[in-house]
Chain A
Amino acid sequence: MKELVCIVCPKGCRLHVDEENGFAVTGNSCPRGAAYGKNEIQNPTRVLTSTVKITGGAYRRCPVKTDAAVPKGRLMDVMRALNEVEIQSPVSIGQVVLADVAGTGANVVVTKAL
């Protein structure tokens, strides 16, 4: 039995994951928590948020995120890939700036119109 804190939402439910019984989750208050508990023990993933360089916008950096969770061990590979990205204003929310980033299958998308 492993104990962990659910990070799906700010509620922070205290989960118990039973590795010997098909990773059954208790302590969750929604189905997303159960899925998180199962996943976190077997293959922890995170949505990555960061910024990329932008020219011609109101700010010098444009916020972005991965459109899917990527394996925790690959986050720094995604960051390295983002260092190479430079975009030009105007951009809109959801616009893909880097597809299949670092071979993770996730796309990096804009989170603020600039």
Chain B
Amino acid sequence: MYDLIVIGGGPAGLAAANSAWQKGLRRILIVERDKELGGILNQCIHNGFGLHRFKEELTGPEYAARFIEMLNSTGVEVMLDTMVLEINDQRQVHVISAEKGYQVLEARSIVLSMGCRERTRGAIGIPGDRPAGVFTAGSAQRYLNLEGYMVGKRVVILGSGDIGLIMARRMTLEGATVLACVELMPYSGGLMRNIVQCLQDWGIPLYLSHTITDIQSQNGRVSHVTVQKLDENRNPIPGTNLEFDCDTVLLSVGLIPENELTRAAGIEMDPRTNGAVVYENMETSVPGIFACGNVVHVHDLVDYVSAESERAGAAAAEFVLKGKREGTALTVQNGADVGYTVPQKIRVSDVEKAADLFFRVRKVFRDSVIEVRSGDELLLSFKRDHMAPGEMEHILLPRKILDQARGDTLTVSAKEA
């Protein structure tokens, strides 16, 4: 019997396991399906990681190495090349590997840290041929940075998520011509700094409110794409065609938290995040099963994944050593222009000093205010110079303010100042 089984050895799982060890758990196991720890950080060779956490600018592999080093100084066990097939509310974990076959492991607590995967062409239904040369940005990144294959020479990128932007620069540096980055929405889905250093630095045009409306092929490979401007209902406007001769289309059109195990275990899900509904300590609706990182909601910064996952690891330790939290929960509701919040539920009596709340707004704001209300009463407000859907917001809800909430809900909203 393990004290804790962590599912996934990426940044979330590493931080959760380290933190649970620091809090006193001793029988901890990380199950990882890849051949090494570190998750997606291994292929994110660009820099910009760790500015919050380590006060220096690290590359993805360097950031992962810091946490792997910490782990090496603990007694946490790691199973590599091992896939989790099923978990249940009895906290049994079914795993399979070539080396050890099928095993059922038991744990006093579980942390779900499986991360997310990319949305593919099928998920967004681009019309046209079905040739070779259409990749998700992340798979192209793996081919290029780990396996050493250049996936194309003339590239159009659909979607302006961070991975797509990073790949625009990366492909350019390796000698490809990136013709355009095309974004469905009227704003970019990526961080502003990536628009600057990955597109503007290299003269790559960003077409907002545009999408690919046709892909053509020759000899089974992409040969041409048509891009059109969209009206406010996202319908293509006739006569706005931009034509590109290219051999490659990269898709950076969103990430989907990888929650098959979570759903099958009967854990309550949030349709807004596609992740589990979690409490203030990252506990799911099943006591003793916690979730953290991109499997809960898609983060912009790994630094925040690490911080959130340390809270999940510490909470798993608390569950094993002290028993479960019993407080009654406030439900956090999304007010105007707030897309989702994490956590979705807060057990006020279990909040020590303050509860962290993360969320995304639905549109771009200049001078604006975030408001937290209980019924009609304004409990808290926070000023912001700038907010955008591509940038996760974070506020702290002090215990003494939470104590003033009436009823069983809190509402978080955003508006122009």
Contact = CB atoms under 8 A, between A and B. Distances in A.
B51 A51 contact: no
B61 interface: yes
Contacts, number: 85
A48 B301 CA distance: 20
B175 to A, nearest CB: 8
Interface residues of B, number: 33
Interface string A76-95: 10010000000000000100
Given A5-B196, A49-B45, A50-B45, 18 more contacts: A5-B192, A5-B193, A5-B195, A7-B197, A9-B51, A9-B52, A12-B193, A47-B57, A50-B173, A63-B45, A63-B59, A63-B61, A79-B173, A93-B61, A93-B65, A111-B62, A112-B42, A112-B65
Given A12-B191, A93-B62, A93-B65, A61 B47 contact: no
In order of increasing CB-CB distance, the 3 nearest A-B pairs are: A12-B192, A112-B61, A63-B45
**Number of contact residues on A: which range applies?**
20 to 34
B386 A49 contact: no
A6 B197 CA distance: 10
Interface of A: 4-10, 12, 14, 46-51, 53, 58-61, 63, 65, 72, 75-76, 79, 93, 111-113
B46 interface: yes
Contact of B386 (A14, A46, A75, A112): A14
Given A10-B300, A50-B173, A112 B35 contact: no
A8 B51 CA distance: 9
B201 A60 contact: no
B145 interface: yes
B146 A61 contact: yes
A8 B201 CA distance: 14
Given A10-B300, A111-B62, A112-B61, A51 B201 contact: no
A15 to B, nearest CB: 11
Nearest to B49: A10
Nearest to B52: A9
A29 to B, nearest CB: 10
